[in-house]
Chains A and B, each alone.
Chain A
Amino acid sequence: MTPSALAPLATGQPNPVATRNAYGDALVELGGERDDIFVLDADLSGSTKTKAFGQAYPDRFLNLGVAEANMIGTAAGLAAQGKTVFASSFAMFAAGKAWEQIRQSVCVPELSVKVCATHAGLTVGEDGKSHQMLEDITLMRVLPKMRVLVPADAVEARLAIRAAAATPGPFYVRLSRAATPVVLSEDYEFVLGRGALLREGKDLAIIACGVEVAQALAAATRLAADGIEARVINMASIDPIDAEMILDAAAECGAILTAEEHQIRGGLGDAVAQVLARNLPCPLEMVGLDDSFGQSGTAEELLAFYGLDATGIAARARDLLQRKA
């Protein structure tokens, strides 16, 4: 895929789907294809959508109860015996409570444990700050050997899960609770380590991941109404990241705005900033949370309040353009 090739977008108005649902479907699909796939959960299988796999393949499903550290350790033991293991909980508990076990028992021995964490970010909504995991990309991308994927929609979530299953070693896949727009068409191809160009533009580039991709596309439409042409890049593969696509955007657009449902410290924005600072510095702004936790509310209310919706992204884009030489 060259930077000039646009990824195929969904046409019409597909019904919104949560990426966790696509995850559950992908597991059942994989379970039928491969008998080395095990799925583990920590008493949230209805919410993480691993339950369907458990019903289809009960001999390869383990519910470890409310004990995430032990779930990751158990996953590591299964993987050390040759299994490919998907381990799920809410992002808060998978990446937060079990970080040390993910480091010591999964990443150090480089085992095929795929931590698939749902209910990430603000769009968890009403459960509030205790459940709105906004630090997991940071915690996972800092780990050696760990690959970090944040799919934009249900189409990409399925492909990301299949890529994780097909690639040996540790993965972290970040998934959402809320039904979100389907952005990509069914013939979209996901490539590990590659971004996807969704909209061409030369005034600035918006690099987004997860639920922010749909918001970035909507922001680009609004900016276009004012004659601002924003390139939109979906960077689902945060580690490994597509440095080439980032640097092309910097060279051709001269200004970059990142957007993520996450703290700006250590997340996608930070990963993009590292690529730029070491190669081709250019004006950069980051949409995300800045030294703040979330709060209860609907997903829409929260994205708007923290400036993560299309309106917020478009406003930050206009600010950024002021800095462009």
Chain B
Amino acid sequence: MALSSERRSELQGIATQVRRDILTMVHAAGCGHPGGPLGMADFMTVLFCEHLRLDPTCLHAPDRDRFILSNGHTCAGYYSLLAIKGIIPREELVRFRKFGSPLQGHPHRNPDLGIDFSTGSLGNGVSVATGMAIAARANGWDSQIYCTSSDGESEEGQIWEAATSAAHYGVGNLTVLVDFNDVQIDGHMHDVMNVRDLAQKYEAFGWHAVRIDGHDLDAVDDALHEAKAERYRPSAIICRTVIGKGVSFMEDQPGWHGVAPNDEQYAQAMAELGETAAS
């Protein structure tokens, strides 16, 4: 089950590619949200490349796995991974947020591009994922429903309505990955509105919950295997991450939640990621 050193190194390379794509996309758009997806890139890479059953061959199979990006503003990394998996044409990435592109500023459901649901308004995704999980189980499908959320999003009450019902209906085929970077738009989460220990909260709601380092590829892989093995409880994987990870001047800076880098900042960031890729 464990990642081989060769595979781990491949995944590190993909995560770096995702980070480079995020910066290129947000820079080309002149607006968007670079910080969040840079922090999520490692666990999203493991999810998309090691676990999520979604590729061009099964794109339209009704019983494939589903993915919802409930923290929809972090979609640059999501679109990059869909391109890396050969579903979104690479040339479309630089049209992100532009008029006429299917790569909307927040995800819009598009069965042909593997975008399973429309998101962008925080709080809504876990409920939808629960409905998808119930439907998959009712159909007898052996599929997993994955949903990302975040610490800031956990301030929304609907998340906890969904946490209650997902446990009540025992949807073991649902896994929520929470990007816990302690940053939200107005500042550090612990200053703005502290959601405290989300693993404890999810556990109290009846979930299988673990707390991991969201940049540790092996830890993410292990947690996803564990989550899949859960038959009767939904799983929450609280991923401790650093917003802006990989770009020195963006790391742990709330200001990089929703601002595009200028040309100079973009060049510096890409140079830093180039070094990472080569190491």
Contact A108 to B108, CB < 8 A, known contacts A70-B162, A80-B128: yes
Q: Which residue in B62, B131, B161, B168 is a CB contact (below 8 Å) of A78?
A: B131
Query: Is the Cβ of B131 less than 8 Å from the Cβ of A100?
Result: no
Binding stretch for chain B, among A58-66, A181-189, A291-299: A58-66
Q: Contact string, A65-109, partner B, CB cutoff 8 A, digits 1/0?
A: 101011011111111111100000000000000001100110011
Quote the shortest CB–CB distance from A13 to chain B (angstroms): 44
Say how far A179's CB is from chain B's closest CB, in angstroms.
33
Give B162-213 interface residues, CB cut-off 8 Å to A.
162, 164-165, 168-169
Q: Which of B12-20, B37-45, B112-120 contacts A (4 or more CB under 8 A)?
A: B112-120
Do the beta carbons of A74 and B116 come within 8 Å of each other? no
Listed residue (A74, A77, A81, A100) with the most chain B CB atoms within 10 angstroms of its CB: A77
B52 at the interface (CB under 8 A from A): no
> A59 to chain B: which residues have CB within 8 Å?
138
Complex Cα spacing A49 to B91, Å: 52
- B124 lies within 8 A of chain A by Cβ: yes
Supposing A69-B158, A104-B118, A108-B118 touch, asked if A81 and B128 sit within 8 A by C-beta, the answer is no
**Does the CB pair A109–B134 fall under 8 Å?**
no
1/0 per residue, CB under 8 A from A, across B104-139: the answer is 000011000000111111011111111111111011
Kindly list chain A residues whose C-beta atoms are within 8 Å of the C-beta of B165: 64-65, 67, 70, 74
Q: Bound complex: CA of A132 vs CA of B234, how far in Å? A: 38
**Taking CB as reference atom, which chain B residue is nearest A72?**
B127
Interface residues in A204-227 by Cβ distance below 8 A to B read none
Complex CA gap A324/B117 in Å reads 52
Known contacts: A81-B135, A101-B158. The answer to whether A74 contacts B128 by CB under 8 A is: yes
Size of the chain A interface, CB-CB below 8 angstroms: 27
Decide yes or no: A76 and B128 within 8 Å by CB, A64-B165, A100-B121 being known contacts: yes
Query: Within the assembled complex, what's the spacing in Å between the Cα atoms of A108 and B62?
Result: 21
Decide: A109 and B136 in contact? CB cutoff 8 A.
no
Q: Are A81 and B127 in contact (CB under 8 A)?
A: no
Contacts of B124 in A (CB 8 A): 69, 73, 100-101, 104-105
Closest CB in chain A relative to B56 CB, distance in Å: 20
Docked CA distance A109–B123 (Å) = 16
Chain B residues with CB below 8 A from A81, complex form: 62, 66, 131-132, 135-136, 139
Q: Across the two chains, which residue of chain A brings its CB closest to B129?
A: A77
Asked whether, in the complex, the Cβ of A70 is within 8 Å of the Cβ of B127, the reply is yes
A104 to B126, CA, bound (A): 13
Q: Mark B46-79, 1 if CB is under 8 A from A, else 0.
A: 0000000000000000100010000000000000
Closest CB pairs A-B (n = 5): A77-B131, A73-B127, A81-B135, A70-B161, A74-B131
Can you report 21 residue pairs joining A to B where beta carbons are below 8 Å apart? A64-B161, A69-B157, A73-B162, A74-B162, A74-B165, A76-B117, A76-B127, A76-B128, A76-B131, A77-B134, A81-B62, A81-B132, A81-B135, A81-B139, A82-B62, A82-B135, A101-B124, A104-B120, A105-B127, A105-B128, A108-B108
Query: Which B residues are closer than 8 A to A by beta carbons?
Result: 62, 66, 108-109, 116-121, 123-136, 138-139, 157-158, 161-162, 164-165, 168-169
Q: A59-B138, A64-B165, A74-B134 are in contact. List 7 more A-B contacts (CB 8 A).
A: A73-B128, A74-B131, A77-B129, A77-B131, A101-B124, A104-B121, A105-B124
Q: Which residues of A contact B (CB under 8 A)?
A: 38, 59-60, 62, 64-65, 67, 69-70, 72-83, 100-101, 104-105, 108-109
